[in-house]
Structure 1
């Protein structure tokens, strides 16, 4: 990453240098053009002075031709106007050239200052030690993770707030319904009282003095019945309000548990992603090691072939099952657990690639006995137990890579 940044800064500095050199050449060309224009202006000024002197000589000269009137010989107005216009044009051109030259000089100075700043910054980055660069990279990664965590928390809070808003809307609808029922009950109670008053009034008007006790008893029974009905409705309203509060508390607790679960799932997902990235990095390192071992094996195969051609002693064939021995020892020493986590399943190809690299290294480093008695051997895959001859080492390595990817 630092190399990329340094190369980008070097390229930017080279571009700045090229632009500065181009501006410098333009500035020199402009100066030369201004000097040429100044010379031309001096020549024109000399010509004008000469012409003025000539005109001064011929000013106010009266010439008489024959018997005609005398004629005053002087400079023509058109000539004077054209000369004045030419002078103004040259002066304007000179002022424009000087202004452009000053602007270009200022631009060159500004670009030079910027180039010096960039060079100082590049030198500071180059002189910066590696541990400070690593600290800067770690700090940037920590900031990025903190921002991702904040974004995830913000998203979870937004979803939880949206759910809570929906629940509050539902509770508000229930509350509105209860209030509407309460208003209806109040209207019914007021209408009942009005009806009772009207009934009492009619009974008083229609009944005689002997029926007063009977009407009073009826009224008392009706009032008691209506009071019981009112108490039932009030108890029902209290029960509904209690249910609403209970549902609100239950939903609030459920929202809190869901928020905690979402945070836990987010942390698990981030840890799994970090494990996957580490496993990918290990696989990449193992691939590089396998490539290096391939190069070493090719070199040693060339050396062994040269030694085989120089020697004429025939040695009986010896079969070496490297991968089988390694796998059997591993099964005997430490049996694998039956249950594996996701990180172990992801690291299984890396372990297989390590075993293959160890087998290749063991096969590539010849022992003293093999150096004294060169012969043929067989290579065996540690996963599928497929055998390959010593001459097919490249095919064996490709097969090990494919088995490690599966």
Structure 2
């Protein structure tokens, strides 16, 4: 009854948690709808601003270049579009995840409802039973609980014995690890001077080669080997526990045999001489059984020692390989950081040079424009003088105002240059 009540309470707690998750899901849906409305309003504002910007934008024409339109840069617009696409993709993924979670929660709620109904039916059936059956069920449960307590007590005793042995093995392992660390420290101190240039040369040789996937493969292999070793250790521990159980049963069997032997010896001394001969004949059989069991024990102990040595050797090899790979990874990381710093410095220099080139190009354009304007003014004055001296239609040019000539655009420069060239040809003739 108590267990059924506990299960019902757990199921009700799960139902409450799933209902809260459902409310959270609906709230997130409302929040997503509100954010979509905000995004649509912001898109409308952006479209309005773009339309207004298109109405008021101006163009500047420079010789040899395309017209410059005032507005946001294409790179900014592309980056904003990419960011919007990413956010929309994330929104779709989140909606799909929430839909999947909602479906799973619904199925779980249905399953829990079914379990709750089954438990309620079981409770009703238990309540409808007569008192004798209830007492029998209670007695059966008490007996099962007593058996469980006994098994737990035996497990606790075995666990304590195994924990003591494990602590001893850990202490031995810690001592061996300390000794290995001391030896490794000495070796590193001795080989530090020669190992660094070797690592540098190895890193330089393997810089251009695709070593990263190779390292990933090696790490995966090491993880697999580590899992296999863990499984082997668990198997050895299980064998050890089984062997302890077998040893305890063997000792009990030997004690029983000794007790029987003592009883048989007592009966032989008290009874007639006829009963003495089978007891004497049974002694070698017991001794042979004891010898055989001792031999099996020694074989199993030797096998356990061999497996423990193999485990220690494999751990040591794995540790050495892991240290070597860690050193290689550190060298690769340092090389990558140095390359990235060099790349960033080169990129900064390129940007500075581009800025300098743009500034110089602008300066050249302004100087060329000023030079062309001065040249046009000079040629224009010479043209006026020539027309006033030699051309009878010079009065037409006198009537043209100076303002109209000054606001000539850059597009008319070639026209005036052509006229000046023609006048120079007339002078030469």
User: TM-score range, shorter-chain basis?
Assistant: 0.3 to 0.5
**Structure number having the greater helix percentage:** 2
The two structures have a TM-score, normalised by structure 2, of 0.32
Higher Cα radius of gyration: 1
